[in-house]
Amino acid sequence: MNLPTFLTSGSATTAATTLVLTSILLTGCAAVPSAPTGSMEVRNKLNTLQNDAQTVQYARVELREADEAVTLAEQPLDADETELAEHRVYMANTMIEIAKSKASVRMAEADRTEMGQRLDAARLAARTAEADRAAADAAKARSSEAAVLAATARETEELRQQILALEAKPTDRGLVLTLGDVLFATGSADIQGGSNQNLEKLANFLTRYPDRDVTIEGHTDNTGTASFNQTLSQQRADSVRRYLIERNIASNRMTTSGLGLDHPVASNDTATGRQQNRRVEVIIADTQ
C-alpha cells in the first residue's frame, strides 16, 4: 500500500507544479503589450499608397513621413496607454491622407502643365500651318494684280500684329500702346536719341491706316508736385506727337493730353511701380 500512496502523492505534486507554471506563463503572456487597435488598418492603407506608382512619384517625402508615423503607431503600448495609442493611429492616418492629397494636387498640376504645353504646341502648329498656307498663296499670286493686293493685305495684317506684339491692349477706346519711361531721360520731355522701334512701327501703322486717329496721353509717378507732373506729362505727350508729325503723320489725326499722376497703373510705393507709372499711352481709335 505504501508504493501507490507515494505514487499518488508524486502525481499530485507534479500536477500542482504544472498548474503554477501554466499560470505564470499565462500571466506573463497577458502582460506583454500588443499592437494598438487600428495600426494594422493604417499599415494596409499605407501599403496601398506605396504600391501606387503615381503616388510614389508625386508624394515621395509625404509617404516617407507617413511610413514613420505608421511605424510609431504600430509600437506596442501598455493597457493604460490607450489614449497615446489612439493618438498615434490618428496621426498616422492623417499623414497618409496628407500624402494622398498632395499626390492628387501635384498630379493635377502636372496634368494642367502638360495640357498647356499641348495647347501651345497646337497653337504653334496652327500658326506654322497658316504661315505655310500664306506663303504658298503668295507664291501663286505674285504675277497678278490680285497677288499684289493680297500681299499688301498680309503686310498690313502683319504690321497690325507687330503693334499688338508690343503689348497694345484692346479696349473700348481702341488699341492702347504703352511707351515706357525709357523713351525719355529722367525729368525730361525730350525723346532720347537713336531709333525707337515702338514709335517707328506706330508711325508705319498710321501711314498704312490713314483713317485711324490717335490720342496720346502722358502719365507720371507721384515724385514731385502735382503741377510739375501735370506739365511734364503734357510735354511728353506733345513730344510723341511731334515725333509722329516728323514722320508725315497729319497733325489733325492726333490729340494729346497730360494726365500727370492721377492714373497710376501700379503702386508708387516701389521703384518698379513708379517706373510703370511713368509712361505715354497711345490710343489708336477703331475705324468707324
Domain with residue 249: its CATH number is 3.30.1330.60
- Average pLDDT of the chain to the nearest whole number: 82
Range(s) of the domain holding residue 193: 146-284
Q: Domain check: are 73 and 135 in the same one?
A: yes
Q: Domain check: are 115 and 194 in the same one?
A: no
pLDDT of residue 8: 46
Q: Domain check: are 202 and 106 in the same one?
A: no
pLDDT tens per residue, range 56-73: 999 899 999 999 999 998
Which pLDDT band holds residue 235 (cuts at 50, 70, 90)?
A: very high
Mean pLDDT along residues 110-137: 85
> How many structural domains comprise the chain?
2
pLDDT exceeds cutoff 50 at 257: yes
Q: Domain check: are 120 and 236 in the same one?
A: no
Residue 136 is placed in which grid cell? 504658298
pLDDT of residue 161: 75
Q: Domain check: are 66 and 135 in the same one?
A: yes
Percent share of the chain, pLDDT over 90: 39
pLDDT of residue 162: 63
pLDDT greater at residue 49 or residue 183: 49
Q: Domain check: are 193 and 112 in the same one?
A: no
Q: Domain check: are 159 and 235 in the same one?
A: yes
Cβ 254 vs Cβ 182: under 8 Å? no
Q: Domain check: are 136 and 154 in the same one?
A: no
In a domain, 17, yes or no: no
Q: Is 127 left (phi over 0), alpha (psi -120 to 50) or beta?
A: alpha
